Protein backbone atom coordinates (compact mmCIF):
# COMPACT_ATOMS: atom_id res chain seq x y z
CA UNK A 1 0.00 0.00 0.00
CA UNK A 2 1.49 3.33 -1.05
CA UNK A 3 1.84 5.89 1.76
CA UNK A 4 1.11 3.40 4.51
CA UNK A 5 2.86 1.04 6.82
CA UNK A 6 1.46 -2.43 7.23
CA UNK A 7 1.85 -4.63 10.25
CA UNK A 8 0.32 -7.98 11.10
CA UNK A 9 -0.27 -8.81 14.78
CA UNK A 10 -2.12 -11.90 15.93
CA UNK A 11 -3.56 -12.39 12.47
CA UNK A 12 -5.03 -8.86 12.30
CA UNK A 13 -3.77 -6.37 9.76
CA UNK A 14 -3.07 -2.87 11.10
CA UNK A 15 -2.66 -0.06 8.56
CA UNK A 16 -1.19 3.32 9.51
CA UNK A 17 -1.79 6.05 6.96
CA UNK A 18 1.24 8.25 7.65
CA UNK A 19 0.97 10.19 4.40
CA UNK A 20 -2.63 11.17 5.10
CA UNK A 21 -2.41 11.82 8.83
CA UNK A 22 1.22 12.93 9.00
CA UNK A 23 2.73 15.89 10.78
CA UNK A 24 1.92 18.20 7.85
CA UNK A 25 -1.75 18.20 8.80
CA UNK A 26 -3.17 20.57 11.40
CA UNK A 27 -6.75 19.68 12.24
CA UNK A 28 -7.07 22.62 14.62
CA UNK A 29 -6.99 25.31 11.92
CA UNK A 30 -9.10 25.68 8.78
CA UNK A 31 -7.37 26.31 5.45
CA UNK A 32 -8.36 29.99 5.53
CA UNK A 33 -9.64 32.13 8.36
CA UNK A 34 -13.42 32.04 8.52
CA UNK A 35 -13.92 34.51 11.38
CA UNK A 36 -10.71 36.48 11.71
CA UNK A 37 -10.88 39.18 14.39
CA UNK A 38 -8.76 41.15 16.82
CA UNK A 39 -8.07 39.10 19.92
CA UNK A 40 -9.62 40.48 23.08
CA UNK A 41 -13.35 40.44 22.51
CA UNK A 42 -15.88 42.35 20.45
CA UNK A 43 -14.51 45.75 21.50
CA UNK A 44 -10.83 44.95 20.90
CA UNK A 45 -8.87 47.68 19.17
CA UNK A 46 -5.26 47.89 18.05
CA UNK A 47 -2.82 50.15 19.90
CA UNK A 48 -1.41 53.04 17.87
CA UNK A 49 1.82 55.03 18.18
CA UNK A 50 2.51 58.29 16.33
CA UNK A 51 6.23 58.20 15.47
CA UNK A 52 6.31 61.72 14.03
CA UNK A 53 6.32 60.89 10.31
CA UNK A 54 4.94 57.33 10.57
CA UNK A 55 2.16 55.50 12.41
CA UNK A 56 2.51 52.07 14.06
CA UNK A 57 -0.34 49.69 14.93
CA UNK A 58 0.04 46.75 17.33
CA UNK A 59 -2.45 44.02 18.07
CA UNK A 60 -3.16 40.32 17.94
CA UNK A 61 -5.21 38.44 15.37
CA UNK A 62 -7.37 35.42 16.17
CA UNK A 63 -9.40 33.02 14.04
CA UNK A 64 -6.73 32.62 11.37
CA UNK A 65 -6.43 29.55 9.19
CA UNK A 66 -3.42 28.01 7.47
CA UNK A 67 -1.21 30.15 5.28
CA UNK A 68 0.87 33.27 5.33
CA UNK A 69 -0.72 36.51 6.53
CA UNK A 70 -0.28 40.04 5.15
CA UNK A 71 -1.23 42.97 7.41
CA UNK A 72 -1.44 46.41 5.78
CA UNK A 73 -1.84 49.73 7.59
CA UNK A 74 -3.12 52.72 5.59
CA UNK A 75 -3.33 56.07 7.38
CA UNK A 76 -4.34 59.65 6.62
CA UNK A 77 -2.63 62.60 8.29
CA UNK A 78 -2.46 66.36 8.33
CA UNK A 79 1.22 67.16 7.72
CA UNK A 80 3.20 70.09 9.06
CA UNK A 81 5.85 71.41 6.69
CA UNK A 82 8.45 74.13 6.55
CA UNK A 83 9.81 76.02 3.57
CA UNK A 84 13.51 76.58 2.95
CA UNK A 85 14.62 79.70 1.11
CA UNK A 86 17.20 78.68 -1.51
CA UNK A 87 19.00 82.04 -1.42
CA UNK A 88 19.73 82.22 2.30
CA UNK A 89 19.16 78.53 3.10
CA UNK A 90 16.96 79.55 6.05
CA UNK A 91 13.83 77.71 7.16
CA UNK A 92 10.58 79.35 8.10
CA UNK A 93 7.06 78.19 8.81
CA UNK A 94 4.85 78.32 5.71
CA UNK A 95 1.67 80.35 5.52
CA UNK A 96 -0.28 77.14 4.92
CA UNK A 97 0.33 73.45 5.38
CA UNK A 98 0.03 70.76 2.71
CA UNK A 99 -3.18 68.89 1.98
CA UNK A 100 -3.80 65.63 3.90
CA UNK A 101 -1.34 62.88 3.07
CA UNK A 102 -2.00 59.12 2.81
CA UNK A 103 0.73 56.65 3.80
CA UNK A 104 0.81 52.85 3.93
CA UNK A 105 2.97 50.02 5.20
CA UNK A 106 2.73 46.24 5.36
CA UNK A 107 4.15 43.33 7.29
CA UNK A 108 4.19 39.71 6.10
CA UNK A 109 3.71 37.06 8.77
CA UNK A 110 4.72 33.52 7.76
CA UNK A 111 2.37 30.61 8.49
CA UNK A 112 4.93 29.24 10.97
CA UNK A 113 4.24 32.22 13.30
CA UNK A 114 0.48 31.51 13.43
CA UNK A 115 -0.14 29.40 16.54
CA UNK A 116 -3.59 27.87 17.09
CA UNK A 117 -5.08 30.51 14.78
CA UNK A 118 -3.45 33.43 16.64
CA UNK A 119 -0.55 35.77 15.90
CA UNK A 120 0.57 39.17 17.16
CA UNK A 121 1.34 41.89 14.63
CA UNK A 122 3.18 45.20 14.48
CA UNK A 123 2.92 47.22 11.28
CA UNK A 124 4.29 50.69 10.52
CA UNK A 125 3.51 52.99 7.62
CA UNK A 126 6.21 54.35 5.38
CA UNK A 127 7.13 58.02 5.83
CA UNK A 128 5.64 60.52 3.35
CA UNK A 129 7.61 61.75 0.36
CA UNK A 130 9.68 64.70 1.54
CA UNK A 131 10.82 67.17 0.34
CA UNK A 132 7.55 67.75 -1.47
CA UNK A 133 8.25 68.05 -5.21
CA UNK A 134 7.59 71.55 -6.54
CA UNK A 135 7.12 73.02 -3.02
CA UNK A 136 3.45 73.89 -3.69
CA UNK A 137 2.91 75.48 -0.27
CA UNK A 138 6.01 77.72 -0.39
CA UNK A 139 6.44 81.16 -2.06
CA UNK A 140 7.70 79.50 -5.27
CA UNK A 141 8.93 76.22 -6.71
CA UNK A 142 12.58 77.16 -6.12
CA UNK A 143 12.05 76.79 -2.37
CA UNK A 144 12.29 73.42 -0.58
CA UNK A 145 9.22 72.16 1.30
CA UNK A 146 9.94 69.52 3.96
CA UNK A 147 7.31 67.63 5.99
CA UNK A 148 8.40 67.78 9.63
CA UNK A 149 5.46 66.06 11.37
CA UNK A 150 2.26 64.14 10.69
CA UNK A 151 -0.93 64.41 12.80
CA UNK A 152 -2.90 61.24 11.96
CA UNK A 153 -6.69 61.44 11.67
CA UNK A 154 -7.63 57.89 10.58
CA UNK A 155 -6.22 54.43 9.94
CA UNK A 156 -7.34 51.22 8.24
CA UNK A 157 -5.85 47.78 8.90
CA UNK A 158 -6.42 45.14 6.24
CA UNK A 159 -5.61 41.47 6.89
CA UNK A 160 -5.15 39.05 4.00
CA UNK A 161 -4.85 35.26 4.25
CA UNK A 162 -3.63 34.11 1.86
CA UNK A 163 -2.25 37.24 0.21
CA UNK A 164 -4.95 38.57 -2.10
CA UNK A 165 -7.87 37.34 0.04
CA UNK A 166 -9.07 39.94 2.55
CA UNK A 167 -10.31 38.29 5.76
CA UNK A 168 -10.55 41.37 8.02
CA UNK A 169 -10.71 45.15 7.70
CA UNK A 170 -10.52 47.37 10.78
CA UNK A 171 -11.29 51.06 10.19
CA UNK A 172 -10.30 53.49 12.96
CA UNK A 173 -10.69 57.22 13.52
CA UNK A 174 -8.95 59.41 16.06
CA UNK A 175 -11.20 61.87 17.92
CA UNK A 176 -8.45 64.48 17.59
CA UNK A 177 -5.37 64.39 15.34
CA UNK A 178 -2.54 62.45 16.94
CA UNK A 179 0.59 63.92 18.49
CA UNK A 180 3.92 62.15 18.83
CA UNK A 181 3.83 59.13 21.14
CA UNK A 182 1.20 56.59 22.16
CA UNK A 183 -2.31 57.43 20.99
CA UNK A 184 -4.66 57.33 24.02
CA UNK A 185 -7.20 54.49 23.70
CA UNK A 186 -9.96 56.98 24.59
CA UNK A 187 -9.17 58.83 21.32
CA UNK A 188 -9.49 55.71 19.13
CA UNK A 189 -12.76 54.41 17.70
CA UNK A 190 -12.68 51.31 15.46
CA UNK A 191 -15.14 49.19 13.50
CA UNK A 192 -14.39 45.77 11.96
CA UNK A 193 -15.76 44.35 8.76
pLDDT tens-place string over residues 111-170: 999 999 999 999 999 999 988 888 888 888 888 888 999 999 999 999 999 999 999 999
Quick one: which H or E segment has residue 62?
A: strand 55-62
* Every domain of the chain and the residues it spans: 29-192
| Cβ atoms of 101 and 137 closer than 8 Å | no
Q: 86 to each of 91, 121, 142, 164, how far by Cα in Å? A: 9, 43, 7, 46
CA dihedral 5, 10, 12, 15 (to 10 degrees): -20
| Cβ atoms of 84 and 56 closer than 8 Å | no
Q: 155 to each of 75, 83, 166, 171, 187, how far by Cα in Å? A: 4, 28, 17, 6, 13
| Cβ atoms of 36 and 167 closer than 8 Å | yes
Length of the chain measured in residues: 193
Preceding amide of 60 cis, omega within 30: no
pLDDT digit string, tens, across residues 45-96: 999 999 999 999 999 999 999 999 999 999 999 999 888 887 776 666 555 6
Gap between the Cα atoms of 168 and 161, Å rounded: 9
Q: Pick from 185, 188, 159: which is nearest to 172 by CA?
A: 188
Q: Lowest-pLDDT range, 2-6, 31-35, 174-178?
A: 2-6
Q: Pick from 92, 100, 79: which is nearest to 147 by CA?
A: 79
88 DSSP 8-state letter: T
- What's this model's pTM, rounded to 2 decimal places? 0.80
pLDDT digit string, tens, across residues 109-122: 999 999 999 999 99
Q: Pick from 158, 150, 186, 185: which is nearest to 46 by CA?
A: 185
Q: Pick from 53, 65, 162: which is nearest to 108 by CA?
A: 162
Amino acid sequence: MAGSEQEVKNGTEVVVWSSVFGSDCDFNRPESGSSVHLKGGSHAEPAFTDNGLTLTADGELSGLGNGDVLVTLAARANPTATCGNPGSNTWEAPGQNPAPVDVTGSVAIPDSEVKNGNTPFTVTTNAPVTPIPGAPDCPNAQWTEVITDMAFTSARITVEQPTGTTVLTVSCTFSSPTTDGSVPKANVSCASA
